[in-house]
Amino acid sequence: MTDYIDVEHVTLRFTEKQRQLTVLEDVSLSLARGEFVVLLGPSGCGKSTILNMIAGFTRPQQGRILCDGRAFSGPHPSRGMIFQQPNLFPWLSVLDNVTFGLRMQGQSKTEADKRALTWLKRVGLEGFERHAPWQLSGGMKQRVAMARAWLPDPAVLLLDEPFGALDAQTRMMMQELLRSAWRQTGTTILFVTHDVEEALFLADRILIMSARPGKIVEEVRPPFGPERDIEALAQAPGYSEI
């Protein structure tokens, strides 16, 4: 496996009320192609900020970020993102929500619809193409967001607490669905959460962050099959802050 994303010695500060706030200090991480990595840390430690930088929405003041060995200057469809809120267009059908990005890139409706139907089936929403977002449950909306993000066939998918607003049962189902879609596609995944059990269930590798300033303090590779070992993680330094 070769590294697809390299975050090298990134430091980021915001100025607030004339005070400098160091949000991230000397953060380095890399994602190998096809890896499923979870970034785990307490609220406010800078997880979303890291994702936003990899997506290309924010730039670091120090350090650099490489994608496939090259620097980049903004967002690109090869780096897809899924947020806690599904952010669907309320006036578009499920199908049109999913194909919106591809259509904007000039792909024909026939081709875009065909690809979208494959993805809707994969996320268990076959037969819901003509539904409006308001007719769907929270979990179903997030499945639409998943299909939409995956449709352009991104090389890396960045997920920012995507299941944070869902009830426990739906959340577990979505976690299973995500792992299975990942297995089928081989997409590189960076998944952000503050939930230890979620991290243990999903990750092949967990990066643990601490806050003020945000730093990666530990990396663990849980020794698991599907049975995830919460004790192993509880031993890791930095765990108590989560």
Which residue in 123, 159, 170 sits closest to 144, CA to CA? 123
Subset of residues 48 to 67 that bind Mg ion, contact rule: CB under 5 A? 48
Is residue 60 a contact point for ligand ADP (CB under 6 A)? no
Residue of the chain from 9, 14, 28, 111 that contacts ligand ADP (CB under 6 A): 14
Q: Which is nearer to Mg ion, 27 or 140 (CB)?
A: 27
Distance between CA 180 and CA 44 in Å, rounded?
30
Query: Which member of 49, 97, 142, 193 binds ligand ADP (CB under 6 A)?
Result: 49
The residue whose two tokens read 């179903």 is 140
Closest residue (Cβ) to Mg ion?
48
Is residue 75 near ligand ADP by the rule CB under 6 A?
Answer: no
Provide the phi-psi class of 138: left if phi over 0, else alpha when psi is between -120 and 50, else beta. Answer: alpha
Indicate whether 46 belongs to the interface with ligand ADP (CB under 6 A): yes
Part in contact with ligand ADP (CB under 6 A); list of ranges 38-46, 113-121, 170-178, 233-241: 38-46
Contact between 222 and ligand ADP by CB under 6 A: the answer reads: no
Residue 23 touches ligand ADP, criterion: CB under 6 A: yes
Rounded CA gap, 26 and 88, in Å? 35
Q: For 214, which DSSP code?
A: B
Residues counted in the chain: 242
Assign 65 to helix, strand or coil: strand
Which CB, 41 or 222, lies closer to ligand ADP?
Answer: 41
Find, among 5, 33, 4, 157, the residue nearest to 83 by Cα: 157
Q: Contact positions toward ligand ADP, by CB under 6 A?
A: 14, 16, 21, 23, 41, 43-49
Residues that bind Mg ion (CB under 5 A): 48
